[in-house]
Structure 1
């Protein structure tokens, strides 16, 4: 039989719990966890403390611990909606999405009517399970409960954009902006589906996060599923020019290093630069690069002390529309007579310099690329029209451009 805690013990545990809540609210998650654990040391099995401990462990990205804590709550109180919510969130972090979906559904069944956050997470889980139509319904339920939930508007807009329902997507992105969503990111989204001004490039944090999340399955998905061929096509036409071997090569936006096996045999030194640290880890594992740099490409070109006689960029400019800063920065990083070779997607017409497509990729016109080259002191050696990859089994038209610096 457990002894009843004394008044002093209860008060001490309560004070630790309240301090833990304050730490949590102010983002001090390590401190919050210690407060909750200390409180539980005085009052073991306290449901409210365990629930907040699970929430804290999720913030600390320790889903296995959060799952165990949520299970403790459910062993004491099987109908605790918050515990089911935290359990589902932990399962989601562990990529156990089907189990997470069941957890969110249990949480929704137990929660008071009008709970928005569980519907948001339910929709995100359905997206992870590649069920966008069902996810759209979940986001609508979340927004019915809380019309100011910016993330639900944003996710809804993303699904509608992929469904090619551009006007509805644009309205969703406008609502996300109105309710406090990231302005730079959502103006970029909005420009892809409306006549809003096109930003010069994709937001850096968007590209970095996208490829950090994509790193593990990048090669298999891009090459195996999307039929990506820019790296091999770019290298094949480069080799045919017969201009090597090269002293020092810079692989802009090198990613996981798909170009490296083609470039390494034709150069003495190979340097890669990319915004995604997780992609660079994959590139490092190849053992083909002499140096890898975690940086934005223009920043690297402007800051490097190295001089390159070959610079490549395979499928990089789909995230950069305005190439003026890139060409301007190349002037100080390249040797005279060095080669700059890159791929680009084609605009629908030659009227625009560049455009942002609903796919969230940029395309450039041939007229624009030729003008940029001439303006920045490059001679055009070759321009090849060939597909970049496939989208829904349709080839994406591209250009492979080979320039020599005067």
Structure 2
């Protein structure tokens, strides 16, 4: 599953790849040979024409900023340019930006340097600045294909997807770049505009141009999965794997649409990236559009148990802090842990948590010296299949009479422990949850069957489970 925002699945185009086709901005004197000795091939590709091959220079009068620099200044600008390329190719983007800007200060208006500056600013997640630089190039050369490419990428990152789509269409119209990457970005943008059928067609065009483009196979598989065309999706994910896509992530995708072995958990980097990207819209989308209610249902039945007040509570997978206003009145101290730093920034802004930790929940439970008498996990285990490590880690993090409360999606097949659904969420059987509790010294205090959220206006059935460490508790079963 790729992002539809034109991010780093494919490195932003730098001028090292297209310098042979770029005009210089200060007349023929600017086209002096650039030395390439000692540079790796990836940096010298396309520079041969600058060292004696045919050149395109502007013949119209140049503004004063484009006047030919003094020889020493030109040599220094050239050196800074190549140092910037080296920094870019080794992912030292802060340094690359400074070097390209220093080169431009000595040699203003050079298109190749401006193109590289825009590429670097995109890598630094500063699309507004990259957009301004791309527009500066287009004011000088209206059909500069790399400027259009960077402009479209920046517009996508700014969620201006219709404008981004027009930009990629301009790139394709100009026809001077290899078509695979522009068609791929075109497909990403159509996905962002919720036009999946058209996005599929764009990915097919990208793959016709380059059948080894793993991310296009991956994104194609993601669309087919959402369309419930599982066999086609599985084939696309297999192709992505065959062409070098992230194996852990794509085996997870493949397991959701095929009989492939189900992994124990979702890949941590998938969950972290998903929620970092989702943080700004999370509350409105989940609660407003999907009718999410796991946090409120979990807290309501917890309060009804009348087991508080608690000394110290831990909110596992706290996210943006939806549970915090509901848990805080029940406990003297409230901590939260989550994989997504962007989600935790939202939680921190509430001012309700006494402590927030950016970590994997099992790693945190295994390493903490804190002891909690209340641990909650609302809608967390949809990303965790095998719950044994969680239960084992709770043993050292919970007080002897603590309470563990969580929600889980309910598996359709009670004979399975857990299953990975095409939604990329895990569902667990009630039998499995009861076995986990018994094996790890917990006693079922209460189990509530109730909807967790909606998906395409259909309720997603779940379970709200309340487990105690003390013996002799009364087991109750409720339906709601």
- Where on the TM-score scale, by shorter chain, does this alignment land: which range? over 0.9
CA-CA distance at 1:23 after TM superposition: 2.2
> Which of structures 1 and 2 has the bigger CA Rg?
2
Work out which of the residue numbers 233, 244, 254 in structure 2 matches 1:180. Answer: 244
In the TM superposition, what whole-angstrom CA distance separates every residue of 1:242-300 from its partner, at most 9, and x where no partner exists? Answer: 21111111111111111112211111111111111111111112222121111111111
In 2, the alpha carbon distance for the partners of 1:367 and 1:30 equals 53
CA-CA distance at 1:26 after TM superposition: 1.8
Question: Does residue 264 of structure 1 match 2:323?
Answer: no
Question: Does residue 205 of structure 1 match 2:269?
Answer: yes
CA-CA distance at 1:135 after TM superposition: 1.2
**What residue is the counterpart of 1:115 in the other structure?**
179
In 1, the alpha carbon distance for the partners of 2:453 and 2:174 equals 47
**What residue is the counterpart of 1:125 in the other structure?**
189
**What residue is the counterpart of 2:149 in the other structure?**
85
In the TM superposition, what whole-angstrom CA distance separates every residue of 1:357-397 from its partner, at most 9, and x where no partner exists? Answer: 00000011011111111111111111111111110010111
In 2, the alpha carbon distance for the partners of 1:113 and 1:18 equals 23
**What residue is the counterpart of 1:395 in the other structure?**
459
Task: Identify which range, 169-178 or 25-34, moves more after superposition.
Answer: 25-34
Structure 1 segment 236-275 matched on structure 2, within 5 A: 236-275=300-339
Flag the 1:377–1:13 CA change in 2: closer, same or farther, 3 A.
same
In the TM superposition, what whole-angstrom CA distance separates every residue of 1:8-61 from its partner, at most 9, and x where no partner exists? Answer: 554443343233222222222223223323333333222222212211221122
In 1, the alpha carbon distance for the partners of 2:456 and 2:468 equals 35
In 2, the alpha carbon distance for the partners of 1:6 and 1:99 equals 40
Flag the 1:47–1:198 CA change in 2: closer, same or farther, 3 A.
same
In 1, the alpha carbon distance for the partners of 2:274 and 2:428 equals 22
Structure 1 segment 1-400 matched on structure 2, within 5 A: 3-5=67-69, 9-112=73-176, 114-400=178-464
In 1, the alpha carbon distance for the partners of 2:455 and 2:405 equals 24
Flag the 1:384–1:192 CA change in 2: closer, same or farther, 3 A.
same
CA-CA distance at 1:93 after TM superposition: 1.7
Gaps of 5+ in 2: 1-61, 471-480
What SS is found at the alignment partner of 2:401? strand
Task: Identify which range, 387-396 or 241-250, moves more after superposition.
Answer: 241-250
CA-CA distance at 1:144 after TM superposition: 1.1
| TM score, norm. by length of structure 1 | 0.96
Flag the 1:12–1:270 CA change in 2: closer, same or farther, 3 A.
closer
In 1, the alpha carbon distance for the partners of 2:159 and 2:298 equals 36
In 1, the alpha carbon distance for the partners of 2:324 and 2:129 equals 40
| TM score, norm. by length of structure 2 | 0.82
What SS is found at the alignment partner of 1:377? coil
**What residue is the counterpart of 2:476 in the other structure?**
none
